[in-house]
Amino acid sequence: MTMLDDETRRKLRELNLEDFIDAIDAQSKDISYSTMTFEERLKMAVDHLYQSKNNKKVKRLIRMSKFRIPNAAVTSIYYPDRGLDKEKLLSLATCQFIDTNSSIVFQGFTGSGKTYLACAMGKQACISGIRTRYIRVPDLLILRDEATLKEQGITKLLKKFAGYKLLILDEWLMDDLSVEEQHFLYELIERRYDCSSTIFCTQYQQVDWHERLGGDVHADAMMDRIVHNNVWVDAGQKNMRKFFGQQQMERQ
């Protein structure tokens, strides 16, 4: 079978199609391809290129998402003795909630696995080609403080985090909020409302949110934009951090 000449290779490299060159080279070294038509070989080479490009895109999206648990996966969620609704989680893993701009709340005590569940859902979004970002709310508020020192800093920060199709806010309402922080979170929720999805990880039940958000009209507005279009998921009754820690000790 004919190999690609140097000039064709050069042009393909300029087009950033190195993976296509690899596919053609692999075919030229495998005699089984000699019985295939040009169209069949071309289709297989294009399929290889598409899959390679898609895999690289997914890896890039996962890297840019900055997940706290990069190896979290829906297929590795631990269910025994947790009381998790497996059917609901598998349904959420299809990412259809993002198509409807709905949100998810993972609620549970410290160590119950909220962050793992959120990162697993976030990774599914990346696999679907959805631009995602994970951040702890305390870290986001530090970025807000830093942004106040720059011209148009707050506006640019809000635009950045409003732009993610899926945003994961971990440690939601863990700390008391100043008036300025309440206003910032309100603006972020407002800009994301009805055009994107957010995953909240929190220790607090919904009944406690209003007071934690300041108990004023901004709290009313945030609650109205969050609670009426979300899926509430109880993270379960098992301390997963303790459970896996004990398992690791037993293996040593």
Query: Which domains are present in the chain?
Result: 6-64 (no CATH), 66-247 (3.40.50.300)
pLDDT of amino acid 249: 64
pLDDT of amino acid 31: 81
Average pLDDT over residues 226-235: 92
Q: What is the DSSP letter of 34?
A: G
How many CB atoms are closer than 10 A to CB 177? 18
Q: Does the structure show a pLDDT above 70 at 109? A: yes
pLDDT of amino acid 6: 82
For the chain, percent of residues with pLDDT exceeding 70: 97
Letter for the amino acid at 42? L
Closest CA to 172 of 147, 148, 208, 146: 208
Closest CA to 106 of 121, 98, 120, 117: 117
Q: Does the structure show a pLDDT above 70 at 147? A: yes
Q: Are 170 and 201 in contact (CB under 8 A)?
A: yes
pTM of the model: 0.84
Q: Phi and psi dihedrals of 209, rounded to 5?
A: -65, -45
Average pLDDT over residues 200-209: 96
Average pLDDT over residues 78-91: 93
pLDDT of amino acid 252: 61
Q: What is the DSSP letter of 202?
A: E
Average pLDDT over residues 47-69: 90
Beta strands in the chain (DSSP E): 103-107, 132-136, 166-170, 197-202, 230-234
Q: Are 41 and 19 in contact (CB under 8 A)?
A: no
Average pLDDT over residues 222-237: 90
What contacts 114, CB < 8 A, 6 or more positions away? 106, 107, 108, 170, 201, 202, 235
Q: Does the structure show a pLDDT above 80 at 223? A: yes
What contacts 98, CB < 8 A, 6 or more positions away? 125, 128, 130, 165, 166, 196, 197
pLDDT of amino acid 250: 67
Higher pLDDT, 224 or 247: 224
33: buried, middle or exposed (CB in 10 Å: 19+, 13-18, 0-12)?
middle
Q: Does the structure show a pLDDT above 90 at 36? A: no
Average pLDDT, the chain: 91
